[in-house]
Structure 1
Amino acid sequence: MMGRKTSPGFLVLLALGFLFASYNLITMSVHYKASKGSWLADGFDLFDPVIRVPGRAERAGKTNSKYHVAVTATDAPYSQWQCRIMYYWYKKVKDLPGSDMGSFTRVLHSGTPDNLMKEIPTFIVDPLPEGLDRGYIVLNRPWAFVQWLEKANIEEEYILMAEPDHIFVKPLPNLAHGKNPAGFPFFYIKPAEHEKIIRKFYPEEKGPVTNIDPIGNSPVIIEKTLLEEIAPTWVNISLRMKDDPTTDKTFGWVLEMYAYAVASALHGVRHTLRKDFMLQPPWDLEVGRNFIIHYTYGCDYTMKGELTYGKIGEWRFDKRSYLNGPPPRNLSLPPPGVPESVVRLVKMVNEATANIPGWGES
Protein backbone atom coordinates (compact mmCIF):
# COMPACT_ATOMS: atom_id res chain seq x y z
CA MET A 1 0.00 0.00 0.00
CA MET A 2 1.35 3.41 -0.94
CA GLY A 3 2.19 5.90 1.82
CA ARG A 4 0.17 9.08 2.14
CA LYS A 5 1.56 12.23 0.54
CA THR A 6 3.55 14.43 2.92
CA SER A 7 2.77 18.15 2.74
CA PRO A 8 5.59 20.59 1.86
CA GLY A 9 4.75 22.70 4.92
CA PHE A 10 5.42 19.78 7.22
CA LEU A 11 8.76 19.11 5.54
CA VAL A 12 9.87 22.73 5.93
CA LEU A 13 9.22 22.53 9.66
CA LEU A 14 11.03 19.22 9.74
CA ALA A 15 14.00 20.65 7.87
CA LEU A 16 14.26 23.62 10.22
CA GLY A 17 14.22 21.20 13.12
CA PHE A 18 17.42 19.66 11.84
CA LEU A 19 19.22 22.87 12.71
CA PHE A 20 18.37 22.64 16.39
CA ALA A 21 17.88 19.04 17.37
CA SER A 22 19.48 15.65 17.02
CA TYR A 23 18.29 13.61 14.09
CA ASN A 24 17.74 10.77 16.51
CA LEU A 25 14.83 12.77 17.93
CA ILE A 26 13.24 13.57 14.57
CA THR A 27 11.42 11.01 12.46
CA MET A 28 9.21 11.12 9.44
CA SER A 29 6.06 9.09 8.93
CA VAL A 30 7.23 6.72 6.27
CA HIS A 31 5.54 3.45 5.32
CA TYR A 32 8.31 1.14 4.21
CA LYS A 33 7.36 -1.16 1.40
CA ALA A 34 7.99 -4.87 1.54
CA SER A 35 10.95 -6.24 -0.37
CA LYS A 36 10.41 -6.49 -4.11
CA GLY A 37 12.18 -9.81 -4.33
CA SER A 38 15.62 -10.99 -5.31
CA TRP A 39 17.66 -9.87 -8.28
CA LEU A 40 18.53 -11.87 -11.34
CA ALA A 41 22.07 -11.40 -12.61
CA ASP A 42 22.30 -10.89 -16.36
CA GLY A 43 26.05 -10.42 -16.38
CA PHE A 44 27.84 -7.85 -18.47
CA ASP A 45 27.17 -9.11 -21.99
CA LEU A 46 28.49 -6.48 -24.39
CA PHE A 47 25.26 -6.61 -26.39
CA ASP A 48 22.90 -6.73 -23.41
CA PRO A 49 22.20 -3.29 -21.93
CA VAL A 50 20.43 -4.70 -18.88
CA ILE A 51 22.81 -5.44 -16.02
CA ARG A 52 20.29 -6.57 -13.41
CA VAL A 53 16.53 -6.92 -13.33
CA PRO A 54 14.34 -7.10 -10.21
CA GLY A 55 12.92 -10.59 -9.85
CA ARG A 56 9.32 -9.49 -10.39
CA ALA A 57 9.98 -7.47 -13.53
CA GLU A 58 9.09 -8.90 -16.90
CA ARG A 59 12.31 -8.72 -18.85
CA ALA A 60 10.76 -8.70 -22.31
CA GLY A 61 7.74 -6.62 -21.39
CA LYS A 62 7.25 -3.08 -22.66
CA THR A 63 5.01 -0.48 -21.11
CA ASN A 64 3.03 1.86 -23.33
CA SER A 65 2.81 4.49 -20.60
CA LYS A 66 4.25 7.91 -21.33
CA TYR A 67 6.64 9.50 -18.86
CA HIS A 68 7.01 13.15 -17.89
CA VAL A 69 10.50 14.61 -18.29
CA ALA A 70 11.41 16.64 -15.19
CA VAL A 71 14.68 18.49 -14.68
CA THR A 72 15.48 20.46 -11.53
CA ALA A 73 17.29 23.74 -12.13
CA THR A 74 18.24 27.16 -10.80
CA ASP A 75 18.10 30.60 -12.39
CA ALA A 76 21.92 30.81 -12.62
CA PRO A 77 23.31 31.31 -16.17
CA TYR A 78 25.24 28.03 -15.84
CA SER A 79 22.02 26.09 -15.29
CA GLN A 80 20.02 28.08 -17.83
CA TRP A 81 22.16 27.45 -20.90
CA GLN A 82 22.32 23.73 -20.17
CA CYS A 83 18.52 23.58 -19.81
CA ARG A 84 18.07 25.36 -23.15
CA ILE A 85 20.25 22.80 -24.95
CA MET A 86 18.52 19.93 -23.20
CA TYR A 87 15.05 21.22 -24.09
CA TYR A 88 16.08 21.71 -27.73
CA TRP A 89 17.03 18.05 -28.07
CA TYR A 90 13.97 16.89 -26.13
CA LYS A 91 11.79 18.60 -28.74
CA LYS A 92 13.85 17.07 -31.56
CA VAL A 93 13.35 13.45 -30.45
CA LYS A 94 10.08 13.55 -28.49
CA ASP A 95 7.76 12.50 -31.31
CA LEU A 96 10.09 10.17 -33.19
CA PRO A 97 9.33 6.43 -33.40
CA GLY A 98 10.31 4.58 -30.25
CA SER A 99 9.71 7.52 -27.93
CA ASP A 100 7.53 7.33 -24.82
CA MET A 101 8.26 10.94 -23.91
CA GLY A 102 5.40 13.00 -22.58
CA SER A 103 5.48 16.58 -21.37
CA PHE A 104 8.54 18.46 -20.10
CA THR A 105 8.95 20.54 -16.94
CA ARG A 106 11.89 22.54 -15.66
CA VAL A 107 11.37 22.48 -11.89
CA LEU A 108 12.90 25.82 -10.93
CA HIS A 109 13.90 25.82 -7.26
CA SER A 110 15.06 29.44 -7.13
CA GLY A 111 11.63 30.49 -5.87
CA THR A 112 10.99 33.25 -8.44
CA PRO A 113 10.44 33.44 -12.23
CA ASP A 114 13.39 33.93 -14.57
CA ASN A 115 13.85 34.90 -18.21
CA LEU A 116 13.25 31.39 -19.59
CA MET A 117 9.63 31.10 -18.48
CA LYS A 118 8.29 31.59 -22.02
CA GLU A 119 10.89 29.37 -23.68
CA ILE A 120 10.80 26.29 -21.43
CA PRO A 121 7.76 24.89 -19.55
CA THR A 122 8.60 25.75 -15.95
CA PHE A 123 7.15 25.11 -12.50
CA ILE A 124 8.47 27.31 -9.67
CA VAL A 125 9.12 25.82 -6.24
CA ASP A 126 10.81 27.16 -3.13
CA PRO A 127 14.43 26.50 -2.22
CA LEU A 128 15.30 25.02 1.15
CA PRO A 129 15.30 27.51 4.03
CA GLU A 130 18.35 29.76 3.85
CA GLY A 131 21.54 28.09 5.01
CA LEU A 132 20.12 24.59 5.19
CA ASP A 133 21.89 23.41 2.03
CA ARG A 134 25.24 24.64 3.47
CA GLY A 135 26.49 25.58 0.03
CA TYR A 136 25.57 22.19 -1.46
CA ILE A 137 22.85 23.39 -3.81
CA VAL A 138 21.99 19.88 -4.98
CA LEU A 139 20.22 19.32 -1.64
CA ASN A 140 17.41 21.39 -3.15
CA ARG A 141 16.70 18.67 -5.72
CA PRO A 142 14.73 16.23 -3.52
CA TRP A 143 12.87 19.10 -1.86
CA ALA A 144 11.99 20.48 -5.32
CA PHE A 145 10.54 17.13 -6.37
CA VAL A 146 8.44 16.89 -3.19
CA GLN A 147 6.86 20.28 -3.90
CA TRP A 148 6.35 19.66 -7.61
CA LEU A 149 4.71 16.28 -7.04
CA GLU A 150 2.47 17.83 -4.37
CA LYS A 151 1.32 20.88 -6.33
CA ALA A 152 1.61 20.25 -10.07
CA ASN A 153 -0.92 18.60 -12.37
CA ILE A 154 1.10 15.76 -13.90
CA GLU A 155 -0.84 13.72 -16.43
CA GLU A 156 1.72 10.98 -17.10
CA GLU A 157 1.95 7.89 -14.90
CA TYR A 158 5.76 7.89 -14.95
CA ILE A 159 8.50 10.45 -14.33
CA LEU A 160 11.97 10.71 -15.87
CA MET A 161 14.21 12.54 -13.42
CA ALA A 162 16.84 14.22 -15.57
CA GLU A 163 19.53 16.90 -15.23
CA PRO A 164 20.39 20.01 -17.25
CA ASP A 165 23.59 18.45 -18.64
CA HIS A 166 21.69 15.62 -20.34
CA ILE A 167 21.33 15.54 -24.13
CA PHE A 168 18.90 13.10 -25.72
CA VAL A 169 20.76 11.28 -28.48
CA LYS A 170 17.69 9.41 -29.70
CA PRO A 171 14.09 8.69 -28.65
CA LEU A 172 13.95 7.21 -25.16
CA PRO A 173 11.33 4.53 -24.46
CA ASN A 174 9.88 3.93 -21.02
CA LEU A 175 12.48 1.58 -19.51
CA ALA A 176 10.54 1.09 -16.27
CA HIS A 177 8.30 -1.91 -15.60
CA GLY A 178 5.40 -1.15 -13.28
CA LYS A 179 6.71 -0.82 -9.74
CA ASN A 180 10.26 -1.49 -10.93
CA PRO A 181 11.96 1.80 -11.92
CA ALA A 182 14.88 1.98 -14.34
CA GLY A 183 18.17 3.59 -13.32
CA PHE A 184 21.75 4.00 -14.49
CA PRO A 185 24.56 2.16 -12.63
CA PHE A 186 27.26 4.65 -11.61
CA PHE A 187 30.69 3.09 -11.12
CA TYR A 188 31.45 5.43 -8.21
CA ILE A 189 28.31 4.68 -6.15
CA LYS A 190 29.45 1.75 -4.00
CA PRO A 191 27.24 1.24 -0.93
CA ALA A 192 28.94 -2.03 0.06
CA GLU A 193 32.32 -0.27 0.37
CA HIS A 194 30.84 2.21 2.86
CA GLU A 195 28.76 -0.15 4.99
CA LYS A 196 29.69 1.50 8.29
CA ILE A 197 28.37 4.84 7.03
CA ILE A 198 25.38 3.37 5.22
CA ARG A 199 24.22 1.62 8.40
CA LYS A 200 23.63 5.01 10.01
CA PHE A 201 20.74 5.46 7.58
CA TYR A 202 19.89 1.90 6.54
CA PRO A 203 19.63 -0.28 9.67
CA GLU A 204 20.51 -3.96 9.63
CA GLU A 205 16.90 -5.03 10.09
CA LYS A 206 16.15 -3.61 6.63
CA GLY A 207 18.50 -6.14 5.05
CA PRO A 208 21.99 -6.28 3.51
CA VAL A 209 23.53 -3.16 2.01
CA THR A 210 23.50 -4.96 -1.33
CA ASN A 211 19.79 -4.06 -1.38
CA ILE A 212 20.93 -0.51 -2.16
CA ASP A 213 21.33 0.08 -5.88
CA PRO A 214 24.50 1.78 -7.28
CA ILE A 215 22.48 4.70 -8.65
CA GLY A 216 21.59 8.33 -8.20
CA ASN A 217 18.19 9.86 -8.79
CA SER A 218 19.06 10.75 -12.36
CA PRO A 219 18.54 9.36 -14.84
CA VAL A 220 15.68 7.35 -13.37
CA ILE A 221 12.29 6.51 -14.87
CA ILE A 222 9.85 5.75 -12.07
CA GLU A 223 6.13 5.44 -11.49
CA LYS A 224 4.78 8.77 -10.23
CA THR A 225 2.98 7.32 -7.20
CA LEU A 226 6.14 5.48 -6.18
CA LEU A 227 8.23 8.66 -6.40
CA GLU A 228 5.63 10.47 -4.29
CA GLU A 229 6.29 7.90 -1.59
CA ILE A 230 10.10 7.93 -1.83
CA ALA A 231 10.68 11.69 -2.22
CA PRO A 232 10.00 12.79 1.41
CA THR A 233 12.35 10.07 2.65
CA TRP A 234 14.92 11.23 0.10
CA VAL A 235 14.73 14.76 1.58
CA ASN A 236 15.12 13.39 5.09
CA ILE A 237 18.10 11.15 4.30
CA SER A 238 19.83 13.90 2.30
CA LEU A 239 19.65 16.35 5.20
CA ARG A 240 20.72 13.74 7.73
CA MET A 241 23.72 12.75 5.60
CA LYS A 242 24.74 16.38 5.17
CA ASP A 243 24.50 16.90 8.92
CA ASP A 244 26.83 13.97 9.64
CA PRO A 245 30.46 15.17 9.20
CA THR A 246 31.88 11.75 8.33
CA THR A 247 29.18 11.03 5.76
CA ASP A 248 29.46 14.51 4.27
CA LYS A 249 33.24 14.23 3.91
CA THR A 250 33.14 10.71 2.48
CA PHE A 251 30.34 11.15 -0.06
CA GLY A 252 31.08 14.76 -1.01
CA TRP A 253 29.39 15.90 -4.23
CA VAL A 254 27.59 12.56 -4.68
CA LEU A 255 25.94 12.66 -1.22
CA GLU A 256 22.48 13.36 -2.63
CA MET A 257 22.87 10.43 -5.04
CA TYR A 258 23.58 8.08 -2.14
CA ALA A 259 20.59 9.56 -0.32
CA TYR A 260 18.25 8.64 -3.17
CA ALA A 261 19.69 5.13 -3.38
CA VAL A 262 19.22 4.61 0.37
CA ALA A 263 15.73 6.15 0.38
CA SER A 264 14.64 3.81 -2.42
CA ALA A 265 15.99 0.80 -0.55
CA LEU A 266 14.18 1.86 2.64
CA HIS A 267 10.96 1.60 0.64
CA GLY A 268 11.93 -1.82 -0.68
CA VAL A 269 12.37 -0.51 -4.23
CA ARG A 270 14.90 -2.03 -6.62
CA HIS A 271 15.80 -0.57 -10.00
CA THR A 272 16.40 -2.25 -13.31
CA LEU A 273 19.98 -1.18 -14.06
CA ARG A 274 20.39 -0.01 -17.65
CA LYS A 275 23.93 0.70 -18.75
CA ASP A 276 22.54 1.97 -22.09
CA PHE A 277 20.55 4.69 -20.30
CA MET A 278 23.41 7.13 -20.91
CA LEU A 279 27.08 7.56 -21.73
CA GLN A 280 29.64 9.87 -20.16
CA PRO A 281 32.38 11.28 -22.40
CA PRO A 282 35.34 11.16 -22.44
CA TRP A 283 35.31 7.77 -20.67
CA ASP A 284 32.67 6.24 -22.93
CA LEU A 285 34.23 6.36 -26.37
CA GLU A 286 31.20 5.73 -28.59
CA VAL A 287 27.56 6.77 -28.50
CA GLY A 288 26.50 3.33 -29.67
CA ARG A 289 22.98 2.40 -28.61
CA ASN A 290 22.88 4.70 -25.60
CA PHE A 291 20.04 7.18 -25.17
CA ILE A 292 21.53 10.16 -23.30
CA ILE A 293 24.87 11.98 -23.32
CA HIS A 294 25.83 13.19 -19.85
CA TYR A 295 28.56 15.81 -20.20
CA THR A 296 29.57 16.16 -16.57
CA TYR A 297 33.27 15.48 -17.19
CA GLY A 298 35.71 17.83 -18.87
CA CYS A 299 37.11 16.70 -22.22
CA ASP A 300 40.75 17.74 -22.63
CA TYR A 301 42.98 16.62 -25.51
CA THR A 302 46.21 17.43 -27.28
CA MET A 303 46.00 18.38 -30.94
CA LYS A 304 47.07 14.79 -31.63
CA GLY A 305 43.86 13.54 -30.03
CA GLU A 306 45.47 12.33 -26.79
CA LEU A 307 43.42 12.63 -23.59
CA THR A 308 44.98 14.87 -20.92
CA TYR A 309 42.34 14.43 -18.22
CA GLY A 310 43.16 16.48 -15.12
CA LYS A 311 45.24 18.87 -17.20
CA ILE A 312 43.85 21.58 -19.46
CA GLY A 313 44.27 20.39 -23.02
CA GLU A 314 45.17 22.22 -26.21
CA TRP A 315 41.59 21.48 -27.19
CA ARG A 316 38.90 21.25 -24.55
CA PHE A 317 35.20 21.23 -23.88
CA ASP A 318 34.23 21.53 -20.23
CA LYS A 319 30.86 22.89 -19.13
CA ARG A 320 32.58 24.52 -16.14
CA SER A 321 34.36 26.87 -18.53
CA TYR A 322 30.98 28.59 -18.89
CA LEU A 323 29.86 29.19 -15.31
CA ASN A 324 28.86 32.81 -15.95
CA GLY A 325 27.34 32.53 -19.39
CA PRO A 326 26.69 30.20 -22.32
CA PRO A 327 29.34 28.80 -24.65
CA PRO A 328 29.61 30.63 -27.97
CA ARG A 329 28.03 29.32 -31.11
CA ASN A 330 30.09 27.16 -33.46
CA LEU A 331 32.57 25.66 -31.00
CA SER A 332 35.66 24.23 -32.66
CA LEU A 333 35.41 20.51 -33.30
CA PRO A 334 37.87 18.15 -31.61
CA PRO A 335 41.12 17.28 -33.42
CA PRO A 336 41.50 13.97 -35.28
CA GLY A 337 41.75 10.94 -33.03
CA VAL A 338 39.32 12.17 -30.36
CA PRO A 339 36.59 9.60 -29.55
CA GLU A 340 33.33 9.70 -31.48
CA SER A 341 31.36 10.38 -28.30
CA VAL A 342 33.15 13.70 -27.74
CA VAL A 343 32.79 14.72 -31.40
CA ARG A 344 29.07 13.91 -31.27
CA LEU A 345 28.65 15.93 -28.08
CA VAL A 346 30.21 19.07 -29.53
CA LYS A 347 28.25 18.74 -32.78
CA MET A 348 24.99 18.44 -30.81
CA VAL A 349 25.84 21.48 -28.69
CA ASN A 350 26.64 23.43 -31.86
CA GLU A 351 23.39 22.43 -33.55
CA ALA A 352 21.36 23.49 -30.52
CA THR A 353 23.09 26.84 -30.08
CA ALA A 354 22.79 27.59 -33.81
CA ASN A 355 19.02 27.09 -33.70
CA ILE A 356 18.02 28.48 -30.30
CA PRO A 357 16.85 32.09 -30.81
CA GLY A 358 18.80 34.76 -28.96
CA TRP A 359 21.63 32.46 -27.92
CA GLY A 360 24.33 34.40 -26.08
CA GLU A 361 22.25 37.56 -25.80
CA SER A 362 21.96 39.07 -22.34
Structure 2
Amino acid sequence: MAEPDHLIVKPIPNLLRNGLGAAFPFFYIEPKKYESILRKYFPEEKGAITNIDPIGNSPVIVGKEALKRIAPTWMNVSLAMKKDPETDKAFGWVLEMYAYAVASAFHGVGNILHKEFMIQPPWDTEIGKAYIMHYTYGCDYDMKGKLTYGKVGEWRFDKRSFTQVWPPKNLTLPPPGVPESVVTLVKMVNEATANLPNWGS
Protein backbone atom coordinates (compact mmCIF):
# COMPACT_ATOMS: atom_id res chain seq x y z
CA MET A 1 0.00 0.00 0.00
CA ALA A 2 1.23 3.46 -0.87
CA GLU A 3 -0.05 7.05 -0.82
CA PRO A 4 -0.46 9.84 -3.38
CA ASP A 5 2.57 11.67 -1.96
CA HIS A 6 4.89 8.71 -2.43
CA LEU A 7 7.37 8.78 -5.29
CA ILE A 8 8.86 5.44 -6.29
CA VAL A 9 12.58 6.06 -6.70
CA LYS A 10 13.44 2.50 -7.68
CA PRO A 11 11.57 -0.78 -8.19
CA ILE A 12 10.30 -2.28 -4.94
CA PRO A 13 11.04 -5.98 -4.54
CA ASN A 14 8.67 -8.36 -2.81
CA LEU A 15 9.87 -8.01 0.77
CA LEU A 16 7.40 -10.52 2.23
CA ARG A 17 9.05 -13.33 4.18
CA ASN A 18 7.50 -16.36 5.90
CA GLY A 19 4.04 -14.85 6.23
CA LEU A 20 5.35 -11.57 7.61
CA GLY A 21 4.45 -8.25 6.06
CA ALA A 22 7.00 -5.55 5.27
CA ALA A 23 6.58 -2.03 6.61
CA PHE A 24 8.30 1.24 7.41
CA PRO A 25 8.77 2.02 11.13
CA PHE A 26 7.47 5.45 12.17
CA PHE A 27 9.17 7.01 15.20
CA TYR A 28 5.90 8.63 16.28
CA ILE A 29 3.88 5.41 16.42
CA GLU A 30 4.47 4.34 20.03
CA PRO A 31 2.32 1.42 21.17
CA LYS A 32 4.03 1.07 24.57
CA LYS A 33 3.45 4.74 25.38
CA TYR A 34 -0.27 4.38 24.65
CA GLU A 35 -0.81 0.89 26.02
CA SER A 36 -3.71 1.91 28.27
CA ILE A 37 -5.59 3.30 25.26
CA LEU A 38 -4.66 0.52 22.85
CA ARG A 39 -5.87 -2.17 25.25
CA LYS A 40 -9.41 -1.03 24.43
CA TYR A 41 -8.84 -2.48 20.95
CA PHE A 42 -6.10 -5.04 21.57
CA PRO A 43 -6.97 -6.94 24.76
CA GLU A 44 -4.30 -8.66 26.82
CA GLU A 45 -5.37 -12.12 25.67
CA LYS A 46 -4.23 -11.15 22.15
CA GLY A 47 -0.67 -10.78 23.38
CA ALA A 48 1.97 -8.28 24.42
CA ILE A 49 1.53 -4.65 23.42
CA THR A 50 4.88 -4.97 21.63
CA ASN A 51 3.10 -7.23 19.13
CA ILE A 52 1.73 -3.98 17.70
CA ASP A 53 4.38 -2.79 15.28
CA PRO A 54 5.28 0.93 15.05
CA ILE A 55 3.78 1.20 11.57
CA GLY A 56 0.92 2.71 9.64
CA ASN A 57 -0.92 1.27 6.69
CA SER A 58 1.57 2.76 4.27
CA PRO A 59 4.09 1.93 3.05
CA VAL A 60 3.24 -1.70 3.65
CA ILE A 61 3.55 -4.89 1.64
CA VAL A 62 1.12 -7.50 2.89
CA GLY A 63 -0.17 -10.77 1.50
CA LYS A 64 -3.61 -10.82 -0.10
CA GLU A 65 -5.07 -13.36 2.33
CA ALA A 66 -3.67 -11.48 5.31
CA LEU A 67 -5.14 -8.22 4.01
CA LYS A 68 -8.54 -9.88 3.66
CA ARG A 69 -8.43 -10.59 7.39
CA ILE A 70 -6.94 -7.25 8.40
CA ALA A 71 -9.09 -4.86 6.32
CA PRO A 72 -12.49 -5.27 8.05
CA THR A 73 -10.88 -5.06 11.49
CA TRP A 74 -8.86 -2.03 10.39
CA MET A 75 -12.07 -0.27 9.35
CA ASN A 76 -13.94 -1.20 12.52
CA VAL A 77 -11.06 -0.25 14.82
CA SER A 78 -10.65 3.07 12.97
CA LEU A 79 -14.32 3.89 13.52
CA ALA A 80 -14.25 2.80 17.15
CA MET A 81 -11.15 4.89 17.81
CA LYS A 82 -12.69 7.93 16.15
CA LYS A 83 -15.85 7.61 18.25
CA ASP A 84 -13.86 7.40 21.48
CA PRO A 85 -12.89 10.93 22.61
CA GLU A 86 -9.82 9.80 24.56
CA THR A 87 -8.41 7.82 21.63
CA ASP A 88 -9.30 10.47 19.07
CA LYS A 89 -7.56 13.15 21.12
CA ALA A 90 -4.46 11.03 21.74
CA PHE A 91 -3.93 9.90 18.15
CA GLY A 92 -5.32 12.74 16.04
CA TRP A 93 -4.18 12.54 12.42
CA VAL A 94 -2.31 9.25 13.02
CA LEU A 95 -5.42 7.45 14.30
CA GLU A 96 -5.89 5.36 11.17
CA MET A 97 -2.21 4.39 11.27
CA TYR A 98 -2.63 3.04 14.79
CA ALA A 99 -5.81 1.27 13.71
CA TYR A 100 -3.96 -0.57 10.95
CA ALA A 101 -1.13 -1.55 13.30
CA VAL A 102 -3.66 -2.86 15.82
CA ALA A 103 -5.62 -4.78 13.18
CA SER A 104 -2.44 -6.35 11.82
CA ALA A 105 -1.38 -7.50 15.29
CA PHE A 106 -4.92 -8.63 16.14
CA HIS A 107 -4.76 -11.12 13.28
CA GLY A 108 -1.23 -12.22 14.09
CA VAL A 109 0.34 -10.59 11.05
CA GLY A 110 3.75 -9.35 12.08
CA ASN A 111 5.93 -7.12 9.96
CA ILE A 112 9.59 -6.96 9.07
CA LEU A 113 10.52 -3.34 9.64
CA HIS A 114 12.54 -1.72 6.85
CA LYS A 115 13.97 1.71 7.66
CA GLU A 116 15.29 1.89 4.09
CA PHE A 117 11.77 1.43 2.70
CA MET A 118 11.21 5.19 2.57
CA ILE A 119 12.92 8.53 3.04
CA GLN A 120 11.27 11.82 4.00
CA PRO A 121 12.98 14.98 2.76
CA PRO A 122 14.25 17.36 3.98
CA TRP A 123 15.18 15.35 7.07
CA ASP A 124 16.55 12.45 5.07
CA THR A 125 19.17 14.04 2.86
CA GLU A 126 20.33 11.07 0.79
CA ILE A 127 18.33 8.56 -1.21
CA GLY A 128 20.66 5.71 -0.30
CA LYS A 129 18.88 2.34 -0.47
CA ALA A 130 15.37 3.81 -0.26
CA TYR A 131 12.58 2.65 -2.55
CA ILE A 132 10.10 5.45 -1.80
CA MET A 133 10.37 9.18 -1.27
CA HIS A 134 7.59 10.63 0.87
CA TYR A 135 7.11 14.33 0.29
CA THR A 136 5.19 15.08 3.46
CA TYR A 137 7.32 17.86 4.94
CA GLY A 138 7.83 21.30 3.47
CA CYS A 139 11.31 21.97 2.09
CA ASP A 140 12.46 25.53 2.80
CA TYR A 141 15.97 26.81 2.06
CA ASP A 142 17.81 30.08 1.69
CA MET A 143 19.74 30.71 -1.52
CA LYS A 144 22.91 29.37 0.10
CA GLY A 145 21.27 25.97 0.47
CA LYS A 146 20.66 26.24 4.22
CA LEU A 147 17.48 24.66 5.61
CA THR A 148 15.12 27.23 7.14
CA TYR A 149 12.52 24.78 8.46
CA GLY A 150 9.67 26.54 10.24
CA LYS A 151 10.30 29.68 8.20
CA VAL A 152 9.30 30.13 4.57
CA GLY A 153 12.50 29.90 2.59
CA GLU A 154 13.70 31.95 -0.35
CA TRP A 155 13.37 28.66 -2.21
CA ARG A 156 10.60 26.30 -1.20
CA PHE A 157 8.74 23.19 -2.20
CA ASP A 158 5.74 22.33 -0.06
CA LYS A 159 2.82 20.28 -1.32
CA ARG A 160 0.52 22.46 0.78
CA SER A 161 1.23 25.32 -1.63
CA PHE A 162 -0.72 23.36 -4.24
CA THR A 163 -3.91 22.38 -2.43
CA GLN A 164 -6.01 24.62 -4.70
CA VAL A 165 -3.84 24.84 -7.83
CA TRP A 166 -1.83 22.52 -10.03
CA PRO A 167 1.91 22.51 -9.44
CA PRO A 168 3.35 24.32 -12.46
CA LYS A 169 5.60 22.63 -14.95
CA ASN A 170 9.33 23.23 -14.62
CA LEU A 171 9.53 24.04 -10.93
CA THR A 172 12.74 25.92 -10.17
CA LEU A 173 15.41 23.56 -8.94
CA PRO A 174 16.83 24.14 -5.46
CA PRO A 175 19.92 26.32 -5.03
CA PRO A 176 23.38 24.75 -4.75
CA GLY A 177 24.00 23.00 -1.46
CA VAL A 178 20.50 21.58 -1.05
CA PRO A 179 20.58 17.82 -0.34
CA GLU A 180 20.28 15.17 -3.03
CA SER A 181 16.89 14.00 -1.76
CA VAL A 182 15.24 17.40 -2.24
CA VAL A 183 16.82 17.96 -5.66
CA THR A 184 15.66 14.51 -6.80
CA LEU A 185 12.17 15.18 -5.47
CA VAL A 186 11.77 18.34 -7.55
CA LYS A 187 13.29 16.71 -10.63
CA MET A 188 10.83 13.82 -10.35
CA VAL A 189 7.87 16.18 -10.00
CA ASN A 190 9.09 18.09 -13.06
CA GLU A 191 9.51 14.86 -15.01
CA ALA A 192 5.95 13.83 -14.15
CA THR A 193 4.34 17.15 -15.06
CA ALA A 194 6.27 17.24 -18.34
CA ASN A 195 5.00 13.81 -19.35
CA LEU A 196 1.41 13.75 -18.11
CA PRO A 197 -0.95 14.67 -20.96
CA ASN A 198 -2.94 17.89 -20.51
CA TRP A 199 -1.24 18.72 -17.22
CA GLY A 200 -2.88 21.74 -15.62
CA SER A 201 -5.94 21.81 -17.88
Q: TM class by shorter-chain length?
A: over 0.9
2:95 matches 1:258: no
Structure with higher Rg: it is 1
Q: CA deviation at 1:358?
A: 0.7
Amino acid corresponding to residue 194 of structure 2 in structure 1: A
- Partners of 2:61 and 2:165 in 1: CA distance: 30
Q: Percent identity?
A: 71
- Give the superposition deviation at 1:178: 4.2
Given candidates 288, 297, 311, the residue that maps to 2:137 is 297
The structural deviation recorded for 1:357 is 1.1
Contact 1:182–1:222, Cα closer than 8 Å, also in 2? yes
Instruction: For residue 325 of structure 1, report the CA deviation from its aligned partner.
Output: 2.5
Q: What residue ranges of structure 1 are gaps of 5+ in the alignment?
A: 1-160
Name the residue aligned to 1:360: 200
Corresponding position of 2:44: 204
Q: How far apart, CA to CA, are the structure 1 residues paired with 2:118 and 2:49?
A: 25
CA distance in 2, matches of 1:193, 1:171: 35
Alignment of 1:100-139 (within 5 A): none
Contact 1:178 1:223 in 2 (8 A): no
SS in 2 for 1:276: helix
Structure 2 letter corresponding to 1:310: G
Matched AA of 2:80: R
- Equivalent of 2:172, from 332, 343, 351? 332
After TM superposition, the score normalised by the length of structure 2 is 0.97
Alpha-carbon distance, 1:310 to partner:
1.9
Structure-2 residue corresponding to 1:146: none
How many matched pairs?
201
CA RMSD of aligned residues (A): 0.9
1-side partners of 2:18 and 2:67: how far apart? 12
Q: Does 1:168 align with 2:8?
A: yes
Q: How many Å separate the matches in 2 of 1:256 and 1:309?
A: 27
| Equivalent in 73, 76, 79 of residue 239 of structure 1 | 79
Shift of 1:270: 0.6
Name the residue aligned to 1:309. 149
TM-score normalised according to structure 1 size: 0.55
Contact 1:280 1:297 in 2 (8 A): yes
1:225 aligns with 2:68: no
Aligned counterpart in structure 2 of residue 284 of structure 1, from 90, 103, 124: 124
Q: 2:112 aligns with which of 259, 269, 272?
A: 272
List structure 1 runs of 4+ shifted beyond 3 angstroms.
none
Distance in 2 between the 1:323 and 1:163 partners? 16
| Unmatched tracts of structure 2, length 5 or more | none
For 1:193, what is the secondary structure of its paired residue?
coil
